[in-house]
Structure 1
Amino acid sequence: MYSDANAGNWINVDDLTFTSGTTGLSVKGSDISSLAKSEALGGVYRTSSGTTGDALAILKSSGMNYARLKVWVNPADGYNNKTRVLAMAQRIKAQGMKLLVDFHYSDTWADPGAQTKPAAWAGHSYSQLKTDVYNHTYDVLNALKAQGTTADMVQIGNEINGGMLWSEGSTDNWAQLAGLLNSGYSAAKAVSSSTVVALHLAKGGDLTGTRWWFDNAVANGVNFDAIGLSYYGYWHGSLYDFQTTLDDAAARYSKPVFVAETAYPFRLDSDDSLVNQIDTTGELVSGYPASTAGQTAWLRDVMNIVEAVPNGRGLGVFYWEATWTAVTGNGWDPTDATSGNGWENQALFGFDDKALPAMSVFSHR
């Protein structure tokens, strides 16, 4: 409710009625990049009542309509590459879900702290890197289109706060970064003009940083259709900061916005030998305990903020790595089969492999 009364003044409201929202979210998804490897190594997924099933079917039945897959160029473990993405895309589309392809332009994790060029591109000139980005993007997306699973959305880079393909594509050289981003955009549009091309930052609660980045992108002629932000409440500021940043980005750049990643723990202990990334009460967001109820409330409140973005510009939310349960061999490091998973306490399947209550939030949007 809004009032134009002076600060501190009272207003009286009669006959106030609350009704369920009618706008809803067009994107209700999760990142499932870890799923194929989990299944290959024996990972099991169950409904909330305990029936073993296809993880994707369980996600779909919970109300999800979108899946996000990262793609690496030549990962050491052979997962999350073009071949694996193509196979998983067929399963996603068979469930009637849409597909977001998240290009990392690396052989391993690309994030604010690391944007390492693929080994095959090492030593390439800036001009060649622009061609590399175009060819790789086109190759993956065209192969998806050819098998009847055209990507509905694409990210050109992953959490590119400091740019990508360092050092050539660093934000220290915006002109070059713009050239690389536009190569990816052009390739995606050459395959399918209707595919939404997004740029993704890990700055969900950073108004100043988000403005700085996208102001530079616009000034350097970067093409994009949507803005994706990672928002983890234990890292990226308060829900108020998040709402302020998201609303501002939508208005300032006249683009739809979405949460490319969010998650929250349903417990703090580990289901494997690796300490979890969030494992103490001091790391939690005030008011949101590490419980199934706390996880559910977190996801609901984040989705409410996205749905409330003015002018219908809030597309939706992707929950990050909903299916990354603790399975031996499916750790964080693609070069080390013994590496553990520090995220299983934030999945949407419990330590008993059953679907958690938070999953049901998607069906109510």
Structure 2
Amino acid sequence: MRGADISTLKKNLDKGAVYRDARGRRADPFALLAAGGMNAARLKVWVNPADGYNSKATVLTMARRVKAAGMKLFIDFHYSDAWADPGKQNKPAAWANLPFPQLRDAVYRHTADVLGALRAQGTPADLVQIGNEINGGMLWPDGRWDNWPNLAALLTAGSTAARSASPRTRVVLHLAEGGNNAGHRWWFDNAVSYGVPFDVIAVSHYLYWHGTADSLAANLNDLSARYGRDIMVAETAYGFTTAEDDFEPQIFTASLAATAGIPATPAGQVTAFRTICDIVAAVPNGRGIGVFYWEPTWTAVTGAGWDPADPASGDGWENQAWFDFNDRALPALQVYNAYR
């Protein structure tokens, strides 16, 4: 799968974003992505987001566009009203005071509801992620990393719901820090020992945060063999510049570029991206099944900022997009064509 997370694309388009090809001609972003070799899209799901985006309703709308473009669909449940990642796994407000048995049931119902609705409208998910970057667990404090019985029960509820509502959908478990072999072995040893059902292992790997390319390759090869599962990189990205196009400070900086050792240029972005793709393609026995670049269409547009509760927030990601500050496609948009 040659994929990208395009969760913010609908919000961007609704707020007036424009996308152009490399020659500056305005075009439909789905057509540009498909022409660049992309064949799969990832969409995150929040429970009750403040701005309504990344909700069940908007995911259903986006899923129709994804499937109409001939792409596979990868659904990413955060089990939160906003961002969930290694540093925060906040419960949705509606679930905040539920006793654990009811919290587990809420995970089941929410998962089954969204995946069932996708299947009913003829756009079933090909992959589903039960939690997002859950190295430290999910739905804190109940499902923290130091309470594996609870964490396993929540993961099993999500996985069981997915398989019931959408039987052909493959279940993915996703961790950050793609080069952290010891941490990942510990985590997946626990998941297996508690009988959590899953089909695919996914990691995030940003070369400026998560270690070297060699550490990623070694970890993917080991995890795939150790657990007998297909494996993928569910998130990666790199900056084509360290400049910014709005008032929000950029996540990707000159310091991070120095850490990665790759220039913050359009050519450097291609180098970093291809490095990840090559590693996944080389996983033995064809177990490396895909790469998903994170938010390549999230350009700086007023009103499409990072905080769903604050319409005045900005975008700290536009210097890692596949479109420059004049909305023109960058060379990174064409990388996937080399892997068709």
Contact 2:76/2:128 (8 A) holds in 1: yes
Choose the corresponding residue for 2:226, options 241, 252, 258. 252
Going from structure 1 to structure 2, the CA distance change for 1:117 and 1:282 (only over 3 Å counts) comes to closer
**Shift in Å at residue 278 of structure 1?**
1.4
Choose the corresponding residue for 1:187, options 161, 166, 176. 161
**Shift in Å at residue 192 of structure 1?**
2.1
Q: Does 1:340 align with 2:310?
A: no
- 1:29 is paired with a residue of what secondary structure? strand
Distance 2:103 2:240 in 1: 42
Q: Does 1:203 align with 2:177?
A: yes
Higher helix proportion: 2
Aligned residues: 339
Match in the other structure for 1:227: 201
Match in the other structure for 1:106: 80
**Mapping of 1:86-235 within 5 angstroms?**
86-235=60-209
**Shift in Å at residue 355 of structure 1?**
1.2
**Shift in Å at residue 288 of structure 1?**
1.4
Match in the other structure for 2:302: 328
Choose the corresponding residue for 2:281, options 302, 307, 316. 307
RMSD: 0.9
Contact 2:200/2:230 (8 A) holds in 1: yes
Distance 2:21 2:58 in 1: 25
**Shift in Å at residue 244 of structure 1?**
0.8
Query: Deviations along 1:261-293, whole A, 9 cap, x unmatched?
Result: 000000001000011011224543444100000
Match in the other structure for 1:20: none
Counterpart residue identity of residue 36, structure 2 = S
Match in the other structure for 2:241: 267
Gaps of 5+ in 1: 1-26
Bigger-Rg structure (1/2):
1
**Mapping of 1:344-359 within 5 angstroms?**
344-359=318-333
**Mapping of 1:60-79 within 5 angstroms?**
60-79=34-53
**Shift in Å at residue 226 of structure 1?**
0.2
**Shift in Å at residue 206 of structure 1?**
0.5
Distance 1:285 1:29 in 2: 26
- 2:173 is paired with a residue of what secondary structure? strand
- 1:284 is paired with a residue of what secondary structure? helix
Distance 2:307 2:37 in 1: 31
Q: Which runs of 4+ in 1 moved over 4 A?
A: none
TM-score when normalising by structure 1 = 0.92
Question: Identity rate of aligned residues, in percent?
Answer: 58
- 2:314 is paired with a residue of what secondary structure? coil
Query: Deviations along 1:42-97, whole A, 9 cap, x unmatched?
Result: 11111112111111111011000000000000000110000000000000000000
Contact 2:209/2:256 (8 A) holds in 1: no
